[in-house]
């Protein structure tokens, strides 16, 4: 394989390099530099990458792209330890474009789907990939649960990785023969331009509810961040949940977008007469092409919102050319996404879900009530050093929708767990009826001991995560494994 050329790469940014330098990869992390790589030294809010130039060169960097302090310095080259340090004005804002040019000099051939929204991103991306696979298409995902083919995921640190890592991973997926990649696109990733040069063909909006206000400051700013995805110049299809308030606003802004609904018979895509049982959900699906024909919809997934998620996946794949009837026949073969309304049934029925926002908790409990013939027990907590305003909101929801509530620890981080619990308790009308057990394993064991055959226990907040953050310590904690062992079940 011919090495990329630095002079060819930088010519697109009005920078001349002589003599030319061949390189292997770009990297923002000096500790990940290998011989032949280029170190990209960005001045961040907390860390200035330029302080690690010496370390990167010692590790084998053949060149350095460094943040310039002013526009006049753009393109300036300083030789340091016989390595060219090329200064770049507003480097951070152009990382995605740089990385795209480095890894896809002839353009990105992958079919790319971007999914944004507060909840449902992981489920929708996995449903797209799994349904595509059942149709004979090699598909991968990028997001919270990891990157790669579902079932063979490589762990990821963030929902949306940094701009360089995204392009490198897409390049590797292309080399591995994947044709389609469904990517979770977080509001952080959009604001920080990490996906700026990802040529999305389809954009999907799931929903908008309270989350990340510690970062965005207001729901209006949070919504604006999500909306940015639908302005992508490469888009050929916009799919928007019409049952969501912000989704309705988006549909007014983008009249050519396709609407999806479980309630509105005028929507482009609709599932009507939705019924729930212990086996999943069923109803009739209507599409833009089948307005006057009832197609049978049968899903093994729990919850009304999973019907929403499936509708998004089906509409996406139908737009990409897969036959609608064929997609519907494949639905029974689907299984729950790890940690997303995942049922563990043994001596008791326990559902592990990632719900960590008021909206997600409300949807999870509402969904399970439709499947539950006994009592509904809710175990939840709230993360430390994060949006404190949602703590009493989640308490109000749990008290209103569950028969029993157990408050436990989530990721307390550097906050006192009791302080977090006290904030949560403010949202209960009858706080004395709430059980408080800080240890999550003990909380689950307590619920199992105090439940009966037809009860359902929801363990909310951790989902797929395999850790718990307490202070500066990241402890091993796999809730799915804990539940599986305690219940004596297979998912």
pLDDT of 119 reads 86
- How many CB atoms are located within 10 Å of the residue 188 CB? 15
Q: Which two tokens stand for residue 452?
A: 């009966």
Q: Is residue 94 part of a domain?
A: no
Residues with pLDDT less than 70, the chain: 1-2, 159, 210-217, 489-491
Q: Is residue 64 part of a domain?
A: yes
Residue 395 and residue 429 share a domain: yes
DSSP of 330-396, one letter per residue? HGGG--PPTTSSEEEESSSEEEEE---SHHHHHHHHHHHHHH-SS-EEEEE---TTS-TTHHHHHHH
Domain that holds residue 446: 342-487
**Total domain count for the chain?**
3
Q: Is residue 38 part of a domain?
A: yes
Residue 238 and residue 176 share a domain: yes
Q: Is residue 112 part of a domain?
A: yes
The Cα-based distances of 10 to 87, 379, 449 in angstroms read: 11, 53, 64
Q: Is residue 1 part of a domain?
A: no
Residue 105 and residue 83 share a domain: no
pLDDT of 488 reads 84
Count, residues in the chain: 491
| Element holding 276 (H helix, E strand) | strand 269-277
The Cα-based distances of 489 to 172, 214, 365, 483 in angstroms read: 36, 38, 22, 8
**Which residues belong to the annotated binding site?**
28, 30, 45-47, 117-123, 158-160, 186, 192, 194, 386, 410-413, 461, 465
Residue 309 and residue 360 share a domain: no
Q: Which of 333, 354, 372 is the last residue of a domain?
A: 333
Find out whether 395 and 428 touch, Cβ atoms under 8 Å. yes
Residue 441 and residue 354 share a domain: yes
pLDDT of 213 reads 53
* Mutual angle of helices 479-487 and 440-449, in 10-degree steps: 30
Find out whether 471 and 432 touch, Cβ atoms under 8 Å. no
Q: Which of 89, 116, 146 is the last residue of a domain?
A: 89
CA dihedral (323, 324, 325, 328) in degrees, to 10, reads 120
- Phi, psi (rounded to 5 degrees) for 88: -130, 125
Residue 265 and residue 139 share a domain: yes
Q: Is residue 96 part of a domain?
A: no
- Phi, psi (rounded to 5 degrees) for 359: -65, -45
pLDDT of 18 reads 78
Q: Which of 252, 235, 33 is nearest to 114 (CA)?
A: 235
Residue 398 and residue 323 share a domain: no
The reply to whether omega before 412 is within 30° of 0 (cis) is: no
Give per-residue burial for 8-41: e unless 16+ CB within 10 Å, then b.
ebbeebebebeeebebbbbbbebeebeeebbbbb
**Which residues belong to the annotated binding site for meso-2,6-diaminopimelate?**
386, 410-413, 461, 465
**Which residues belong to the annotated binding site for ATP?**
117-123
| Residue with tokens 């053949």, as numbered in its chain | 62
Q: Is residue 145 part of a domain?
A: yes
Q: Which of 38, 65, 89 is the last residue of a domain?
A: 89
Residue 135 and residue 81 share a domain: no
- How many CB atoms are located within 10 Å of the residue 428 CB? 18
Residue 405 and residue 298 share a domain: no
The Cα-based distances of 91 to 44, 70, 118, 161, 167 in angstroms read: 11, 11, 29, 17, 16
Q: Which of 174, 58, 51 is nearest to 111 (CA)?
A: 174
Q: Is residue 95 part of a domain?
A: no
């Amino acid at each position: 394989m011919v090495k990329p050329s630095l002079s060819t790469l930088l010519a697109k940014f009005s920078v001349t390099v002589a003599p030319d330098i061949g390189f292997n990869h770009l990297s923002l992390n000096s500790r990940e530099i290998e011989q032949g790589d280029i170190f990209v030294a960005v001045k961040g809010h907390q860390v200035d990458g330029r302080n690690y130039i010496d370390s990167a060169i010692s590790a084998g960097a053949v060149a350095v792209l460094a943040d310039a302090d002013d526009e006049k310095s753009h393109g300036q080259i300083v030789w340091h330890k016989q390595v060219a340090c090329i200064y770049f004005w507003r480097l951070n804002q152009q990382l995605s474009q740089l990385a795209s040019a480095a890894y896809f000099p002839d353009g990105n051939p992958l079919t790319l789907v971007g999914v944004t929204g507060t909840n449902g991103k992981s489920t929708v991306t996995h449903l797209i990939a799994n349904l595509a696979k059942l149709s004979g298409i090699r598909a991968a995902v990028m997001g919270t649960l990891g990157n790669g083919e579902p079932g063979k995921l490589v762990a990821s640190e963030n929902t949306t990785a940094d701009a360089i890592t995204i392009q490198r991973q897409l390049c590797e997926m292309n080399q591995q023969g994947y044709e389609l990649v469904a990517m979770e696109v977080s509001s952080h990733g959009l604001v920080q331009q990490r996906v700026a040069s990802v040529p999305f063909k389809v954009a999907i909006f799931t929903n908008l509810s309270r989350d990340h206000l510690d970062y965005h400051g207001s729901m209006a700013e949070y919504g604006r961040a999500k909306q940015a995805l639908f302005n992508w110049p490469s888009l050929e299809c916009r799919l928007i949940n019409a049952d969501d308030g912000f989704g309705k606003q988006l549909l007014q802004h983008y009249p050519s977008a396709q609407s999806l609904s479980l309630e509105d018979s005028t929507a482009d895509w609709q599932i009507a007469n939705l019924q729930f049982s212990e086996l999943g959900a069923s109803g009739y699906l209507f599409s833009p092409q089948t307005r006057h024909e009832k197609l049978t919809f049968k899903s093994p997934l729990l919850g009304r919102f999973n019907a929403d998620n499936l509708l998004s996946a089906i509409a996406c794949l139908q737009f990409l050319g897969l036959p609608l009837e064929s997609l519907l026949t494949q639905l029974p073969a689907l299984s729950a996404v790890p940690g997303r309304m995942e049922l563990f049934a043994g001596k008791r029925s326990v559902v592990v879900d990632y719900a960590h926002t008021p909206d997600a908790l409300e949807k999870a409990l509402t969904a399970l009530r439709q499947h539950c013939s006994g009592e509904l027990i809710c175990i939840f907590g709230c993360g430390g050093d994060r949006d404190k305003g949602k703590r009493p909101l989640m308490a109000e929801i749990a008290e209103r929708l569950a028969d029993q509530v157990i408050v436990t620890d989530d990721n307390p981080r550097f906050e006192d767990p009791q302080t977090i619990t006290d904030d949560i308790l403010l949202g209960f009308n009858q706080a004395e009826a709430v059980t408080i057990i800080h240890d999550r394993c003990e909380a689950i064991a307590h619920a199992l001991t105090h439940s009966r055959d037809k009860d359902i226990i929801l363990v909310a907040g951790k989902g797929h995560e395999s850790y718990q953050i307490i202070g500066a310590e990241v402890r091993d904690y796999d809730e799915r494994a804990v539940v599986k062992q305690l219940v004596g079940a297979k998912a």
